[in-house]
Chain A
Amino acid sequence: MTDVTDTQAGAAAAAGRFAVGAVLPAGGFPITRKDLVRYAGASGDFNDIHWNGRFAVEVGLPDVIAHGMYTMAVAGRVLTDWVGDPAAVEEYFVRFSKPVLVPDDGVGALLEVTGKVTKALDAGRVQVDLTVLSAGQKVLGKATAVVRLP
C-alpha cells in the first residue's frame, strides 16, 4: 500500500469507517488448483476449463482459469469482512472482464482486492466499488455492492 492510500485510509477512519471516501481493508487471496477443485465441488460447477489444463488449452485458453463466481465470492470477502454481517450486502454486481489464470506451478494466482465507499444511498446504505486485480490485470469490471450500514 502506498503512502497516499495510507493517508486516505487515515482520513476516512477519522471521518467514519463507512463515510464516502472510506477505504476498505484490502485483501490478498492466493488461488491454487486445489481451491478451484474445492469450489467446483461446493458450487456444482464442474466445467473442465476450471480444473483440466489439457482441456483448457484445447479450447484456446492459455491455462486453467478460475470460476468467475469463485473470483466474485472471494472478492466479496473484502465486503463482508469490512461490514461484519454478510447479510448487510444487499446487492452485489461484477462483470467478468478478464480470466484469472491459475497455473499448476505450486504457486497459483493471487487475487488483490481493494474497495472504497463511493456513494451515500437512501435508508442508511452506501455503494462500495471494488477493484480486483490478478497478475496486474483488472479481472472484474464495475464490481459494486450496495451495503446496509450496521
Chain B
Amino acid sequence: MALDQSFVGRTYPPTPAYEVGREKIREFADAIGDANPVYRDPAAAKALGHPDVVAPPTFPIVISMPAADQVVYDPALGLDWARVVHGDQRFTHERPMRPGDRVVAVVTVDSIKSFAGNDMITLVTAMSTMEGELITTARALLVARAEAGSEEQA
C-alpha cells in the first residue's frame, strides 16, 4: 500500500528532553566494545580539547530511534510497522554529545517512495540542546517490506 505523499515535509512535535548521562555513555561504549578512554575519563577527553567525556559517533541513535517511533506508529500514516527494516543511516555531527546535554529531537519526513511493493520513508531527525544548539542530525531510511505474495520479494 503506497503511503500518503502529503506526509512529506511534515514535522512532528519535539520530543521530551533526553538528558545525556556519563554512565549511559560508558554503558554504550562498553556495549560496542570500545575501550577508548575519551568515553569514560574526563582527563583523557580534556587532553583532546573536550570539556568532558564524549559519546561515540552512533550514540545519538539512542535518542533518534525512539523519536522516529512517532512516525512509525502514527496511525494516520499507516506504516506497516511490523514489516519495517532499517535501510540506511547517516549521522552528521556538529559536535559529540556530552554528559548533561538535554537533547530535544525533532523528526521531519523527508521523502516517501514506493518500489516493488516496498514503502520507503526517509526521516531526518535534528537533535539540539534545550538551549537550541544543534548537535547532530540523523537521517534514516526505513523500509516497510512488501507483503509476501503481493509483489516479488527483493
Residues of A whose CB lies within 8 Å of any CB of B are 29, 35, 38-39, 41-45, 68-70, 72-74, 76-77, 79-81, 84-87, 89-96, 142
**For chain B, what secondary structure do more than half of its interface residues adopt (helix, strand, loop), or is it mixed?**
mixed
Given contacts A45-B65, A73-B57, A85-B38, 10 further A-B contacts (CB under 8 A): A70-B32, A77-B33, A86-B38, A86-B57, A87-B95, A93-B89, A93-B90, A94-B89, A96-B86, A96-B89
* C-alpha spacing A146/B48, complex, angstroms: 19
What sequence of 0s and 1s flags, for each residue 42-57 of chain B, a beta carbon within 8 Å of any chain A beta carbon? 0000001110001011
Q: Please, which residue of chain A has its CB at the minimum distance from the CB of B50? A: A87
With A43-B62, A87-B96 already in contact, the answer to whether A74 and B86 are too (CB < 8 A) is no
A95 B88 Cβ-Cβ under 8 A = yes
A80 B57 Cβ-Cβ under 8 A = yes
Contact with B88, one of A77, A81, A96 (Cβ below 8 angstroms): A96
Q: Is B76 an interface residue (CB 8 A)?
A: no
* C-alpha spacing A95/B87, complex, angstroms: 6
B34 A77 Cβ-Cβ under 8 A = yes
Residues of B whose CB lies within 8 Å of any CB of A are 24, 27-28, 30-34, 36, 38-39, 48-50, 54, 56-58, 61-62, 65-66, 85-93, 95-96
With A44-B66, A94-B88 already in contact, the answer to whether A73 and B32 are too (CB < 8 A) is yes
With A29-B33, A38-B31, A76-B56 already in contact, the answer to whether A89 and B90 are too (CB < 8 A) is no
Contact with A42, one of B27, B49, B54, B89 (Cβ below 8 angstroms): B27
Set of chain A residues within 8 Å of B87, measured between Cβ atoms:
95-96
* C-alpha spacing A7/B143, complex, angstroms: 41
With A77-B33, A90-B92, A96-B88 already in contact, the answer to whether A69 and B50 are too (CB < 8 A) is no
B38 A92 Cβ-Cβ under 8 A = no
A73 B56 Cβ-Cβ under 8 A = yes
B80 CB to closest chain A CB (Å) equals 13
B154 CB to closest chain A CB (Å) equals 11
Contact with B90, one of A29, A39, A85, A91 (Cβ below 8 angstroms): A91
Of the listed residues A39, A73, A92, the one surrounded by the most CB atoms of chain B closer than 10 A to its CB is A73
B34 A80 Cβ-Cβ under 8 A = yes
A45 CB to closest chain B CB (Å) equals 6
With A85-B48, A96-B86, A96-B87 already in contact, the answer to whether A42 and B30 are too (CB < 8 A) is yes
